Every structure is written in structure tokens, then in C-alpha cells.
Structure 1
Amino acid sequence: MRQPDIELDGWCLDSGDAYHSDAPSTFWIPARDRRENLQPGDFAKLIFRISVDNSEEPVAVERMWVVVRERIPGGYLGVLDNEPDSIGKTDEFWVGTELPFRPEHIINIEDRDAASMSLATEEPRTRWPIR
């Protein structure tokens, strides 16, 4: 399954592993085995790069929560559980949008609860294209 691409999708994900490697004493991330073993309903915080209409700063960076829907080869499918601050509401990228991500993207984890378990089983606002 293809990963988000800023040119194609208008947004992409940054590697939490890379941030941690650059600043291991100040940029904490959960242990790799924890990031590789999330279950449906668990929360994962990811770093998003989002194209914005601003000639001085054409890319906004936001940290947002995603709820895991399912495990897939090499990672997860989840749904966005935040509203991006840097863009207005869109049909393609807003709360409930399905997206793939890998353990390397995860910068924080919260355990599932009843609300996130329900969200994980609901039909997403927008499904991730299978290409």
C-alpha cells in the first residue's frame, strides 16, 4: 500500500525515528516493539507535513492523533482523530479520514478506550485509495 505523498495527496508523514535519531536526548519516542504492536482502537501520534497556500511557508507541520483501525503488512491503517489547524475543512483530509502509517512515524501512543474502539470500527469519512 502506498504511503501518503505531499505532491499527490497534499500531505505526508515525517519519520519519528529520524527526529529521535537527530536529537535522542530531547525527542523521545515509544520503544520500537510498542510501536510495532498497536491494536485497533489504540491512539498513535504522528507528524504531518501539509501543503498550505502560503508562498513564504508552503508547508505546515502538525502533530495529530490517529486511531488504529487495523494492522496491515508493514504498518497500520488508521483514521485521523484531529482537525488540522493549518487548513480549512476538506473532504479529503479531516477527522475520520483513513490513512496508512508505519511504526517509524509514531511519536507517541495512548491506549484505546471505548470511544476509540467505536471509532476504529466505523466507516471512515474517506477511505485511503488502494493503488
Structure 2
Amino acid sequence: MRVPDLHDDGWCLESGVERHLLHPESFPIPNEAARTSLAVGDFAKLIFLVATDDDDAPLVERMWVVVREVAGDTYFGLLDNEPEIDENDDFWLGAEVPFNQEHIIEIQKGDAGSRDYAARPPLRIWPRA
């Protein structure tokens, strides 16, 4: 699977694990067992870098996704937040987002409503190949 690229896709993900290793006291994350055992409908908060008109300064946003598919060590989720940026036309609520355990900075267990949301077709599907 191709990972999102800031220049090609207009966004990418930052590693929560790396950030935690740099600042363990001020940047806690869920343990690895929790990050690797998400189920469809669970929520994961990720750190997104979103391209802006200023190539040197991407917007950094922490946003929730709802897990819709677990494929080996890759999760596919539906974006559950509206990005706070107008310049990116392809990255909105309901877009499919690929991620793995290293990107997860917070977790919330899902419920019937989030499982229903996860079953919806994405507004934009992430290419699998």
C-alpha cells in the first residue's frame, strides 16, 4: 500500500510514536497492545500534516478517524473531522485514510453509531495498490 505523501496527496501522517519518544513526559500515547488491537468502529486520533499555499508550512491538525477496515498491520479509517483548511479540495469528512499503529495518539472504543459510520462507503477511497 502506498502511504500518503504531503506533496503528492496534499497531506500525510506524523508518527505519534516518534513524537512520544522525543517527549515521553508531555506526549503520552496508548500502549502498543492497544494501538494494534483496534476493531471496526473504534476511533483513532492521528496527527495530520495538510499542505497549504505555503509549501514550507503545512497545517498540523489532530483529527479522529473511525476504523472501517483492518488489513494486516494497516488500518483504513474514515475521517471523522472537518479539516480547518480551505486550500485542500481532496481531504474532507468521510475520506478514507490509511494508517498504522505508529500514527495513533489517542483511542476511543466505538459504539453502534460508529460501526454504522464505518460501514458507509468512503467519499474518497484510498488506493490499495
TM-score normalised by structure 1 residue count: 0.93
Report the CA distance between 1:53 and its aligned residue: 1.2
Aligned equivalent of 1:97 = 95
* Alpha-carbon spacing, 1:3–1:84, altered in 2? closer, same or farther (3 Å): same
Looking at structure 1, the residues matched to 23 and 57 of structure 2 have their Cα atoms a distance apart, in angstroms, of: 25
Looking at structure 2, the residues matched to 113 and 20 of structure 1 have their Cα atoms a distance apart, in angstroms, of: 28
Report the CA distance between 1:54 and its aligned residue: 3.0
* Corresponding letter in the other structure for 1:100: P
Aligned equivalent of 1:31 = 31
CA displacement 1:70-128 (0-9 Å, x = unmatched): 111222011100000023573x2100000110000000001102221111101111100
Aligned equivalent of 1:58 = 57
* Corresponding letter in the other structure for 2:26: T
Deviating above 2 A after TM superposition, structure 1's stretches of 4 or more consecutive aligned residues are 86-90
Are residues 1:109 and 2:107 paired?
A: yes
Aligned equivalent of 2:9 = 9
Looking at structure 1, the residues matched to 106 and 124 of structure 2 have their Cα atoms a distance apart, in angstroms, of: 24
Looking at structure 1, the residues matched to 54 and 8 of structure 2 have their Cα atoms a distance apart, in angstroms, of: 18
Looking at structure 2, the residues matched to 83 and 11 of structure 1 have their Cα atoms a distance apart, in angstroms, of: 14
Aligned equivalent of 2:42 = 42
Gapped regions of structure 2 (runs ≥ 5):
none
8 Å contact 1:36–1:75 — kept in the other structure?
no
TM-score normalised by structure 2 residue count: 0.94
Looking at structure 1, the residues matched to 23 and 29 of structure 2 have their Cα atoms a distance apart, in angstroms, of: 11
| Secondary structure class of the residue paired with 2:122 | coil
Gapped regions of structure 1 (runs ≥ 5):
none
